[in-house]
Structure 1
């Protein structure tokens, strides 16, 4: 690891680090996948679905609540088929409900 006495930009740091560069590429690919399937999602649900991590051929979608998860679960076969037609090798889509961490 190279020690520096001056600040560098986030862009420069990601370009210089193979690991960070790969993470940025995966985040961008995940966002592109979500953009690809958005037309297949019902309008009101689109704002409740966010791109998640990619782990090999498994992609994760982050959802706002269990009701959204139930509806998206019904759409999974169509979403996977659509992604495959676009050239992405997706063997499974995981759904993860993310609850907000608001203090009570």
Structure 2
């Protein structure tokens, strides 16, 4: 069997260039980065090994979500939520709300 080279597509863009040119994808990338930055800011305030059971979730116009691995982790996050919101405000984020959501498998 001989392998044929893949045909080239005229006017094709590398993926990175397409992402940079697309306004909706650029907005998504910015929100993902914002979520990661927020998580970095609060990570040190998460007690013990809790951080390994929490993931940053989406940022939208109504707030930011933290994704908890289970209900016990979510309960602990709800207890420290005021502190987490305070940390974000101290670092310059306009924090309307942190939502705590349990991840489904």
* TM-score normalised according to structure 2 size: 0.85
Instruction: List per-residue Cα deviations over 1:64-88 (Å, max 9, x = no partner).
Output: 1100000000000000011000000
Of 22, 33, 40 in structure 2, the residue corresponding to residue 35 of structure 1 is 40
The 2-side partners of 1:51 and 1:79 are apart by 13
Q: Is the contact made by 1:49 and 1:63 (CA closer than 8 Å) also made in structure 2?
A: yes
3-state SS of paired residue (1:33): helix
Per the TM alignment, residue 29 of structure 1 is displaced from its structure 2 partner at its CA by 0.7
1:13 to 18, 32, 37: 18
**How many residue pairs were aligned?**
97
Contact 1:50–1:62 (CA<8 Å) still a contact in 2?
yes
Unaligned 5+ runs, structure 1: none
SS at match of 2:44: helix
Equivalent residue of 1:81, what SS?
helix
> Does residue 27 of structure 2 align to residue 22 of structure 1?
yes
The structure with the larger Rg is: 2
Name 2:58's counterpart in structure 1.
53
* TM-score normalised by structure 1 residue count: 0.86
